[in-house]
């Protein structure tokens, strides 16, 4: 009788182990689909590279190399350089005129909004509905950052639709979001207004 029970328990344990092994393989394949495979190999290669790289105290600087890179006082006369420009174009310190013009336009653009934590009521909703598990205000986590969502200029109603029925084609390169029908519409609308304020 005891032998039969032990045999039954052993066979159940084996079946359970095989089921877990299959599940783990399927989970690993699903993970690799979105995040890439070879994590252990990458970590091992990085550790080996760090171990073989010389530390800052071990690096030697050859004085002859420094001397050969130094600039002499009479270099302009040796090369025949001149302060005059032959093409009458403005001096741009190694940049093209397009780069300088673009830089001036960028300087005139309004400053981006300050990146701070969300307001307390918004943070409470994000935690309550587990949004924070996949999203952050200004950085990619599992899903896109809220500031990136704001750049898509979705309306509040469109964000509500996407929370209830996500469209993975809108965010290639991200794992698909699960539908969140349990989140009350009023909460999603409040979050959507905050998301749009980040743009």
SS3 string of 9-43?
HHHHHHHHHHHHHHHHHHHHHHHHHHHCCCHHHHH
Q: Does domain 120-197 have CATH number 1.10.760.10?
A: yes
**Residue 48 confidence (pLDDT):** 72
Length of the chain: 199
**Residue 81 confidence (pLDDT):** 47
Question: Mean per-residue pLDDT for 95-99?
Answer: 60
Nearest to 174 by CA among 143, 146, 132, 150: 143
SS3 for 91-137, per residue? CCCCCCHHHHHHHHHHHHCCCCCCCCCCCHHHHHHHHHCCHHHCCCC
Question: Mean per-residue pLDDT for 70-92?
Answer: 50
How does the average pLDDT of the chain come out, rounded? Answer: 74
Residue 162 CB: number of other CB atoms within 10 A?
20
Cα–Cα distance list, 6 to 12, 16, 73 (Å)? 10, 15, 92
Residue 111 has pLDDT above 70, yes or no: no
**Which pLDDT band holds residue 153 (cuts at 50, 70, 90)?**
very high
Residue 73 has pLDDT above 50, yes or no: no
Residue 90 has pLDDT above 60, yes or no: no
Residue showing tokens 């809220």: 146
pLDDT by residue (tens digit) across 170-186? 999 999 999 999 999 99
**80-89, 135-144, 166-175, 189-198: lowest mean pLDDT where?**
80-89
**Which pLDDT band holds residue 58 (cuts at 50, 70, 90)?**
low
Residue 79 has pLDDT above 60, yes or no: no
Cα–Cα distance list, 152 to 46, 149, 171, 192 (Å)? 36, 5, 10, 12
**Residue 179 confidence (pLDDT):** 93
**Which pLDDT band holds residue 7 (cuts at 50, 70, 90)?**
confident
Residue 98 has pLDDT above 90, yes or no: no
On whether the pTM is more than 0.75, the answer is no
Residue showing tokens 């009479």: 74
């Amino acid at each position: 009788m005891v032998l039969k029970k032990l045999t039954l328990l052993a066979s159940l344990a084996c079946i359970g182990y095989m089921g877990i092994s299959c599940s783990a393989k399927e989970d690993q394949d699903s993970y690799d689909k979105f995040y890439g495979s070879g994590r252990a190999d990458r970590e091992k290669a990085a550790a080996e590279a760090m171990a073989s790289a010389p530390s800052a105290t071990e690096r030697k600087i050859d004085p002859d190399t420094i001397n050969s890179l130094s600039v002499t006082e009479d270099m302009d006369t040796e090369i025949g350089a001149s302060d005059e420009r032959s093409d009458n174009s403005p001096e741009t310190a190694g940049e093209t005129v397009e780069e300088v013009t673009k830089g001036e336009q960028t300087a005139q653009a309004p400053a981006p909004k300050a990146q701070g934590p969300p307001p307390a009521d918004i943070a409470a909703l994000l935690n309550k509905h587990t949004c924070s598990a996949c999203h952050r205000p200004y950085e990619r986590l599992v899903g896109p950052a809220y500031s990136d969502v704001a750049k898509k200029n979705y309306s509040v109603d469109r964000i509500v639709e996407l929370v209830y029925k996500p469209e993975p084609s809108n965010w290639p390169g991200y794992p698909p979001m699960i539908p969140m029908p349990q989140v009350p519409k009023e909460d999603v609308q409040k979050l959507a207004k905050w998301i749009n304020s980040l743009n």
